[in-house]
Amino acid sequence: MTPITEPDARIYEPVIGIEIHVQLRTRTKMFCGCALSFGEEPNTLVCPVCLGHPGTLPVTNAEAVHYALMIAMAFECDIEPRSIFHRKNYFYPDLPKGYQISQYDIPLGRHGRLGDVRIHRVHMEEDAAKLIHAGSSGRIHGASTSVVDFNRGGTPLVEIVTEPDLTSAAQAAEFGRLLQATLRRMGVSDVNMEEGSLRMDANVSIRPAGTATLGTKTELKNMNSFRFLERGIEAEIARQEQILHDGGEVEQETLHYDPQSGNLTTLRSKEEAHDYRYFPEPDLVPIAPTEEMLTRAREALPELPAARAERLERDLELPAETARLLAFRSDWGDFVEQAVDGRNALAHNVANWVTNELAARLGDRELGSTRLEPRAFAELVELVVEKKISANAGREVLDVLIEEGGEPTAIVEAKGLGRAESGELDEIVSRAIADNPDAVEKIRAGKVQAIGAIVGAVMRETKGRADGGEVQRMINERIEAG
Amino acid sequence: MSNELLSLTAAQQAERIAAGDVSPGELFEFWRERAAGDDLGSYLWVADEAPEDAGTLPPIAVKDLFCVEGVPSMAGSRILEGYRPPYTATSVRNLQDAGARVLGKTNQDEFAMGSSNENSGFGPVQNPWDRERVPGGSSGGSAAAVAAGTAPWAIGTDTGGSIRQPASLCGIVGLKPTYGAVSRYGMIAFASSLDQCGPLTRDVTDAAILLGHLQGRDPCDSTSLGIPGDIPLPSAERLDGRRFGVWGMEEPGLEPGVADSVRATLAKIEELGGGVQEIDLPNARHGIAAYYVIAPAEASANLARYDGVRYAGRSTGGDLTSMYEQTRHDGFGEEVKRRIMIGSYALSSGYYEAYYGTAQKVRTKIAQDLAAAFEDVDFVVSPTSATVAFKLGERTADPLAMYLSDYYTVPMPLAGIPAISIPCGLSEGLPVGFQIAGPAFSEARILDAAHALEKSIGFEAVPVG
């Protein structure tokens, strides 16, 4: 009995839906005036409202509604004219009121899409406080003491639920990246998975390939990177396939994926599922977006990555992969577009220099933290394209631009990096041929790779200012003529 | 001075302050001593001394469930024993800004759940008219204090009748404003879609003055609107052209003596030029059933936060779960536990539509009945309570009998509309209340009509206690 893991041998197809929680980057919390927390001392950003003191009432944060509307619009949702909040009742130490204010039967937005994936709903809610469990496990089971930090409690969240339109773990991770890039571009969230400002759960089921009925789904909770999301889903698909292969039945449950061990453990079985006793939140009025609110949200939407990738590919004739990369990293995309500045013929080279040379030099560093100006960068690329300097010289200039800024031509002059004059180069090439008779003999005997020694001598002499291809062409000419 | 002050309304006392006849500090101290001497169980806390700035209005007795910074605010519950809020309710703040200082915190049914004040975690309140009888509830302490002259005026809250019914049983004026007229911020919640703050006073003018100070849109309460327009001091002495629709006079539980007083009041309305006609509120009889689903459902969520971890005392022992259980076992009274159970059940999966959904439909029907009535009449009137004050312990064994105490008062909060109860006579030596309800935000008109009737009735009786 061998587990069925080869994709082409699969008789089952996975059906995957994703639930995403996004912490909004508003100034204040969802229902009170406390500032959002960025690692402050525990329980310093709290007030009677977010601590759930008796008698307090929530008041909806208008900025959070604005961001949530932007998100719903970015995902092409229908906006509900009157969406309402519900109380989701569950008793847990991270929830001071004993209920979470969330949206239930009438969410802010419905029936949207992002790329090829349909969005089921977009709704608003408040985050719970943070529980910190003392003890080796770091989880509530086996902890000796647990403490609560209410700084996070009440942070505005938007929950996005997709339709089960994804059919592989890789596709789910890819969708997650597009979603992250889109939200980042909008500036509504830090979308940092490790810090928890972007959280993803996956609903996974499998069914016989080609059938339409849905199998029993399980829910994978809180995977904190796209890699773990992908691996977790893969592990769960394999587990379900194994169960069905062995003649068993998949049980509805909530699972935790441990990326270290690769194990899936049960968090909650179907029997342990909560009855949340939802009912309309009587302390809040419905969210009824006015035309003004809708217009403001629409106008606040920048060009989103999917659209930008398409435009860069079409208008700047960039390869799809490059266009996508620039669209996903919007600071790079902005930089390239500013550098090209209408000279579309230069776009390809500028983009290549960004994605190869510049990217390698930046590493984790933000583009904005360098002295590099788009105009200077464009000038540099032009110098190389027009062969006024060699690629090597160009790299040297780039290093200077990143650290010190300045004008490329001035740097070329100051460092003497200008391409060797042809007379000068003629002379150097002739001398190198004369100095390497052995190599010349070998080349004439058909050992073409021997040219390396002569090219190397020229490059040493010119300190890299000469173009390697050009030098090679000149050497061959001389020897053939010779 | 003291006997004279006792005979004055709060408005008249304010005039004495303004005229320089009495200083605010002296007046506060006078009432502080009165409150400290209360022996009816009306107060759970009384101010130690007059504040440095004693304001410009007579001090006010505040139902325990209003949060007042640094002052015990327990909603009559043991589970909040020791809780001193870090903030003050907007309604109380508004009164402080207007010049009234907090005299004390008054006893109440625990979390406002009750109609007799017998559900207080700190003992019952006695009715100043007859110490063997209840003052009504849940704002029983506020009503008893005003009736007994241990407070010049008071505020309470009304969810299903908790201002009007105790006002009726204690022979004073009680007004439940339109839902949204007064901010709920800082009122320890019972049933959020019904709770509303209002005055309990010696006369209609005092009620109008307090309402004017209490009301207003509050940025801390999204459901608050304030009352459009002013609340002028009521001045009407006639009711010419006013149409009054009376309902509920044939209910089997209506005491004959109460019915007599109410009929006499209807006759007064006609004497003053008003018209009286019978109206039917066909769904009003389902009000209690709907109310006792909706209010407990909301309460079951509102009370989930009391677990012994954050605000006040806790029962210790065992692990976390045992601590929760023991705290709630010790801290909540029987009626509160009953309503949490009823409410949780009504909201649970599979029962929600049958209970909560149906109750909401009934609520809509009742609101429609009242709206239809207001097409024909200006006011809807009835007894406030089917009975006069009943004996302590008389209904405690029978929750349903107790729930029926709210029969005449429950439809208005379900519809969100304002209503006042004014004393209209005595039955068996005990006060009878007359209820006048109007459309949303018709407080000024209700107060005016109540003022004309008050003059005509001339209710001068005071409790013997």
The confidence band for A449, taking pLDDT boundaries of 50, 70 and 90, is confident
Nearest CA in chain B to A95: B305
Torsion angle in degrees (nearest 10) through CA of A102, A108, A110, A113? -100
Backbone angles phi, psi at A373, to 5 degrees: -105, 140
Looking at the fold, whether B223 and B358 belong to one and the same domain comes out as: no
Residue A13: which residues within 8 A CB-CB, separation 6 or more? A167, A206, A207, A208, A209, A210
Check residue A210 and give its pLDDT: 85
Measured between beta carbons, the chain B residues lying within 8 angstroms of A59 are 219-222
Position A436, amino acid: N
Q: How far is A125 from chain B (nearest CA, A)?
A: 17
Q: Is the peptide bond before B138 cis (omega within 30 degrees of 0)?
A: yes
Looking at the fold, whether B408 and B450 belong to one and the same domain comes out as: yes
Condensed to tens digits (0 to 9), the pLDDT of residues A139-195 reads 666 677 889 999 999 999 999 999 999 999 999 999 999 999 999 999 999 999 999
Measured between beta carbons, the chain A residues lying within 8 angstroms of B344 are 277
Condensed to tens digits (0 to 9), the pLDDT of residues A119-134 reads 999 999 999 999 988 7
Measured between beta carbons, the chain A residues lying within 8 angstroms of B71 are none
Residues A179 and A114: beta-carbon distance below 8 Å: yes
Condensed to tens digits (0 to 9), the pLDDT of residues B297-324 reads 999 999 999 999 888 778 887 888 899 9
Q: How far is A134 from chain B (nearest CA, A)?
A: 15
Percentage of chain B lying above the pLDDT 70 cut: 99
The average pLDDT across A426-430 equals 85
* B30: Cα within 13 Å, side-chain hemisphere: 18
* Cβ pair B347:A277 closer than 8 A: yes
Residue B463 within a domain = no
Q: How far is B442 from chain A (nearest CA, A)?
A: 22
Measured between beta carbons, the chain A residues lying within 8 angstroms of B220 are 57, 59
Condensed to tens digits (0 to 9), the pLDDT of residues B376-405 reads 999 999 999 999 999 999 998 888 888 888
- B282 has a pLDDT exceeding 90: yes
A98 touches B at CB < 8 Å: yes
Q: Quote the strand ranges of B189-294, DSSP E.
A: 196-201, 243-246, 275-278
Looking at the fold, whether B140 and B191 belong to one and the same domain comes out as: yes
CA A161 to chain centre: 18
Residues A17 and A161: beta-carbon distance below 8 Å: yes
- A297 has a pLDDT exceeding 90: yes
Looking at the fold, whether B274 and B423 belong to one and the same domain comes out as: yes
The CATH number of the domain holding residue B197 is: 3.90.1300.10
The confidence band for A424, taking pLDDT boundaries of 50, 70 and 90, is confident
Looking at the fold, whether B42 and B117 belong to one and the same domain comes out as: yes
A38 touches B at CB < 8 Å: no
Q: How far is B39 from chain A (nearest CA, A)?
A: 29
Gap between the Cα atoms of A321 and A328, Å rounded: 11
Measured between beta carbons, the chain B residues lying within 8 angstroms of A283 are 184, 192, 221-223
**Mutate which of B71, B183, B222 to disrupt the A interface (most A C-beta within 10 Å)?**
B222
Gap between the Cα atoms of A210 and A233, Å rounded: 20
Of A429, A399, A425, A426, whose CA–CA distance to A412 is shortest? A399
Number of H helices, E strands in chain B: 16, 11
A142 touches B at CB < 8 Å: no
* Cβ pair A56:B186 closer than 8 A: yes
- A251 has a pLDDT exceeding 50: yes
Check residue A137 and give its pLDDT: 62
Nearest CA in chain A to B79: A54
SS3 for B316? Answer: coil
Looking at the fold, whether B261 and B316 belong to one and the same domain comes out as: no
Check residue A2 and give its pLDDT: 45
Torsion angle in degrees (nearest 10) through CA of A115, A118, A120, A121? 20
Measured between beta carbons, the chain B residues lying within 8 angstroms of A87 are 301
Q: How far is A82 from chain B (nearest CA, A)?
A: 15
Condensed to tens digits (0 to 9), the pLDDT of residues A197-237 reads 999 999 999 999 888 889 999 999 978 899 999 999 999 99
- A442 has a pLDDT exceeding 80: yes
Gap between the Cα atoms of B403 and B398, Å rounded: 9
Nearest CA in chain A to B356: A279
Instruction: Note the pTM of the prediction, 2 decimals.
Output: 0.89
Residue B387 within a domain = yes
Q: How far is A335 from chain B (nearest CA, A)?
A: 44
DSSP summary character for residue A252: P
B219 touches A at CB < 8 Å: yes
Gap between the Cα atoms of B34 and B16, Å rounded: 19
Gap between the Cα atoms of A406 and A372, Å rounded: 8
Looking at the fold, whether B266 and B396 belong to one and the same domain comes out as: yes
Where do the H-state alpha helices sit in A320-421? Answer: 320-328, 330-340, 347-352, 359-362, 374-385, 391-404, 408-415
Gap between the Cα atoms of B13 and B20, Å rounded: 11
- B115 has a pLDDT exceeding 50: yes
Least confident of A461-470, B179-188, B246-255, B358-367: A461-470
A96 touches B at CB < 8 Å: yes
The average pLDDT across B346-363 equals 96
Nearest CA in chain B to A100: B301
Looking at the fold, whether B349 and B379 belong to one and the same domain comes out as: no
| Domain count along chain B | 2
* Cβ pair A284:B223 closer than 8 A: yes
Neighbouring C-beta atoms of residue A280, cutoff 10 Å: 18
Percentage of chain A lying above the pLDDT 70 cut: 95
The average pLDDT across A422-432 equals 82
Residue B337 within a domain = yes
B89 touches A at CB < 8 Å: yes
Of B128, B156, B104, B158, whose CA–CA distance to B39 is shortest? B128
Cross-chain CB nearest to A54 (options B75, B222, B297): B75
Check residue B274 and give its pLDDT: 98
Nearest CA in chain B to A54: B188
* Cβ pair B219:A59 closer than 8 A: yes
Domain A422-481 fold is: Arc Repressor Mutant, subunit A (1.10.10)
DSSP summary character for residue B15: H
* Cβ pair A282:B85 closer than 8 A: no
Question: What residues of B act catalytically?
Answer: 63, 138, 162
- Tokens 């059933």 sit at which residue? B289
b/e code B169-185 from CB counts within 10 Å (16+ = b): bbbbbbbbbbbbbbbbb
Of these ranges, A192-196, A473-477, B91-95, the one predicted with the greatest mean pLDDT is B91-95
Gap between the Cα atoms of B433 and A478, Å rounded: 120
**Mutate which of A34, A49, A50, A56 to disrupt the B interface (most B C-beta within 10 Å)?**
A56
Residue B411 within a domain = yes
The average pLDDT across A372-400 equals 90
The confidence band for A421, taking pLDDT boundaries of 50, 70 and 90, is low
Check residue B110 and give its pLDDT: 98
The confidence band for B172, taking pLDDT boundaries of 50, 70 and 90, is very high
A279 touches B at CB < 8 Å: yes
Residue B19: which residues within 8 A CB-CB, separation 6 or more? none
A283 touches B at CB < 8 Å: yes
DSSP summary character for residue B111: G
Backbone angles phi, psi at A89, to 5 degrees: -85, 115
Nearest CA in chain B to A88: B301
Strand order in the sheet with A117-126: A78-79, A109-114, A117-126, A156-162, A12-23, A198-208, A218-223, A253-258, A263-269
Q: Per the structure block, which two tokens stand in for B105?
A: 């915190």
Of B195, B192, B152, whose CA–CA distance to B177 is shortest? B195
**Mutate which of B220, B293, B323 to disrupt the A interface (most A C-beta within 10 Å)?**
B220
Q: Per the structure block, which two tokens stand in for A59?
A: 């008041």
Determine if residue A55 is left, alpha or beta; phi over 0 gives left, psi from -120 to 50 gives alpha, anything else beta.
left
B309 touches A at CB < 8 Å: yes
Q: At which of B310, B338, B366 does a domain end?
A: B366
Q: How far is B10 from chain A (nearest CA, A)?
A: 28
The average pLDDT across A101-112 equals 97
Nearest CA in chain B to A97: B305
Check residue A8 and give its pLDDT: 46
Strand order in the sheet with B43-46: B43-46, B102-106, B60-63, B154-158, B196-201, B173-176, B419-427, B430-437, B379-383, B243-246, B275-278
The average pLDDT across A265-275 equals 85
Boundaries of domain holding B420:
2-279+369-457
Residue B15 within a domain = yes
Measured between beta carbons, the chain A residues lying within 8 angstroms of B348 are 275, 277
B93 touches A at CB < 8 Å: no
Q: At which of B346, B366, B386 does a domain end?
A: B366
B348 touches A at CB < 8 Å: yes
Gap between the Cα atoms of A10 and A23, Å rounded: 38
**Mutate which of A43, A53, A284 to disrupt the B interface (most B C-beta within 10 Å)?**
A53
Residues B104 and B92: beta-carbon distance below 8 Å: no
Instruction: Give the strand pairing for A12-23 and A156-162.
Output: antiparallel
* Cβ pair A283:B65 closer than 8 A: no
Q: How far is A277 from chain B (nearest CA, A)?
A: 5
* Cβ pair B222:A99 closer than 8 A: no
Percentage of chain B lying above the pLDDT 90 cut: 92
Measured between beta carbons, the chain A residues lying within 8 angstroms of B352 are 277-279
By residue count, chain B amounts to 465
Percentage of chain A lying above the pLDDT 90 cut: 64
* Cβ pair B189:A284 closer than 8 A: no
Looking at the fold, whether B163 and B309 belong to one and the same domain comes out as: no
Of A178, A181, A173, A231, whose CA–CA distance to A200 is shortest? A173
* Cβ pair B73:A54 closer than 8 A: yes
- Residue-averaged pLDDT of chain A: 90
Neighbouring C-beta atoms of residue A2, cutoff 10 Å: 7
b/e code A244-258 from CB counts within 10 Å (16+ = b): beeeeebeebbbbbe
Condensed to tens digits (0 to 9), the pLDDT of residues A13-27 reads 999 999 999 999 999
B83 touches A at CB < 8 Å: yes
DSSP summary character for residue A409: H
Check residue A136 and give its pLDDT: 62
Measured between beta carbons, the chain A residues lying within 8 angstroms of B75 are 54
- Using alpha carbons only, what angle is made at residue B94 by residues B88 and B95, rounded to the nearest 5 degrees? 100
Gap between the Cα atoms of A320 and B260, Å rounded: 89
